[in-house]
Amino acid sequence: MTASLSEKEILERCNARKANTLMQTLDIEFVAVDGESLTAKMPVNSSVLQPDGVLHGGATAALIETVGSVAVFVFKDTSNLMVRGIELNANHLKGVRSGNVYATAKALHLGRTTQLWEIKVVDDQGQLVSVGKLTTLTLEKPLQ
């Protein structure tokens, strides 16, 4: 985990990255971090619903990729690295019409250049909504 920072400081840094991004559009907020996981919440409202009134799988997939990608910055030294999601898989198990969903990312593999994340999405009652796997790639930032 990011050395010498408190949970509050880590969450503040994660949330500070939202401006002018899809995270802002979807109102994704990082709400918890511990030694092995990062959790974000997303409100289920009209901006993320399918026409029949349930949470859109694409919005859920965006939440999954977001929390997995940001988790790389929390659990690896990325000071000179850029992070990209290179493969995403999501299985949607339950429809949600309102409230919030919470995505928690845990690393299955933290390699030098690739990382594999398992992300579970639950509703306000803690019921499993979706399960995702995200592969991320870390590369050196280009010289500017």
- From the list 80, 75, 88, 74, the residue with the least C-alpha distance to 136 is 88
Quote the strand ranges of the chain, DSSP E: 29-33, 37-44, 81-92, 99-110, 114-123, 128-140
65 is catalytic: yes
For 22-40, what is each residue's pLDDT tens digit? 999 999 999 999 999 999 9
CA torsion sign for 18, 94, 88, 114 is positive
For 69-114, what is each residue's pLDDT tens digit? 999 999 988 788 899 999 999 999 999 999 999 999 999 999 999 9
User: Residue 5 has what pLDDT?
Assistant: 87
User: Residue 80 has what pLDDT?
Assistant: 85
pTM beyond 0.85: the answer is yes
Residue 138 has pLDDT above 80, yes or no: yes
For 47-59, what is each residue's pLDDT tens digit? 999 999 999 999 9
User: Residue 36 has what pLDDT?
Assistant: 94
Domains, the chain, ranges and CATH? 7-140 (3.10.129.10)
- Measured in whole angstroms, the distance separating CA 28 from the mean position of its chain's CA atoms is 9
Rounded (5°) CA angle 114-103-130: 95
Among residues 29, 65, 87, 118, which one is catalytic? 65
